[in-house]
Amino acid sequence: MIDAALFRSVLGAYPTGVVVITAADDAGVRHGLVIGSFTSISLDPPLVGFFPDRQSRSWAAIAPIGRFCVNVLGSDQLDLCRRFAARADDKFADLAHGHTPSGQPLLENAIAWIDCSVERVTDVGDHFLVVGAVHGLGRRDAGTPLLFFSGQYHDLAQLPG
C-alpha cells in the first residue's frame, strides 16, 4: 500500500503549470476551476487533457456544457489562481474577461488559451480524465507561467535550485 502523504511528496517533485478551465452555459452563467494536471495529448488530431477531481462541483457544472477554455496562468496571476481555487458561487464576480471564438470566458492576461469541446470523459481513480478537442488557441508574446512545485506556487525564476 502506498502512503498518500509520501505519494504527494514524491509527485510534488515534478513541477506543473497552472491553468484555469472556464466555461459558460447557455444562460450565460460562468464557471471555472484551477487545474494543475493539464497536458497535450495529440497533435493530429489536436487534443489536450486534464484531470478534475470527481468531487469537484465546478467540473460538475462545466461537464454538461460540452465546451471549455484552458487559460494558462502567468506567474503574475497568483491572486486569480486563488480566486478560482476557492469555493465560491460566482468566481467571476467583478472580474473583467474576454471570450474565445466559441464564446467561452477568456481570462485577461492569461499567457495562453485553448478553446475546446469535450471529446470524452473517462473515470480514472478519484479523478476524471477529460479529453478536449482543440478548436482554437493563442498566446501572448510575453509572460512566464505560474508553476506548482513541492506544494507551493512559483515563478520560473523562483524555483529552488
**Local confidence pLDDT in tens for the 161 residues of the chain:** 989 899 988 988 888 899 999 999 999 999 999 999 999 999 999 999 999 999 999 999 999 999 999 999 999 999 999 999 998 889 999 998 999 999 999 999 999 999 999 999 999 999 999 999 999 999 988 889 999 988 887 887 665 65
Q: Distance between CA atoms of 129 and 152, rounded to whole angstroms?
A: 24
Q: Distance between CA atoms of 133 and 145, rounded to whole angstroms?
A: 23
Mean pLDDT of the chain: 93
Instruction: Provide the pairing of β-strand 112-124 with 67-72.
Output: antiparallel
The 10s digit of each residue's pLDDT in 98-122 is 999 999 999 999 999 999 999 999 9
Q: Do the domain assignments include residue 110?
A: yes
Vertex 56: Cα angle to 51 and 57 (nearest 5): 140
Residue with cell 513541492: 150
- What pLDDT, on a 0 to 100 scale, did the predictor assign at position 24? 97
- What pLDDT, on a 0 to 100 scale, did the predictor assign at position 113? 98
Sign of the torsion angle spanned by Cα atoms 2, 130, 55, 74: positive
Q: Do the domain assignments include residue 133?
A: yes
- What pLDDT, on a 0 to 100 scale, did the predictor assign at position 149? 86
- What pLDDT, on a 0 to 100 scale, did the predictor assign at position 159? 59
Q: Do the domain assignments include residue 112?
A: yes
Q: Do the domain assignments include residue 161?
A: no
Q: Do the domain assignments include residue 160?
A: no
* AA letter at 137: L
Residue 150 region, left (φ>0) first, then alpha (ψ -120 to 50), else beta? left
Q: How far does CA 154 lie from the centroid of its chain?
A: 16
For residue 42, the enclosing domain spans: 4-153
- What pLDDT, on a 0 to 100 scale, did the predictor assign at position 75? 94
Q: Distance between CA atoms of 143 and 132, rounded to whole angstroms?
A: 25
Residue with cell 454538461: 64
The CA–CA distances, whole Å, from 150 to 6, 14, 76, 79, 81 equal 12, 8, 19, 19, 17
Name beta bridge partners: 24: 30
* 3-class secondary structure, 131: strand
Residue with cell 505519494: 7
Provide the domain count of the chain. Answer: 1
- What pLDDT, on a 0 to 100 scale, did the predictor assign at position 56? 95
Give the global pTM.
0.93
Q: Do the domain assignments include residue 158?
A: no
The CATH number of the domain holding residue 10 is 2.30.110.10
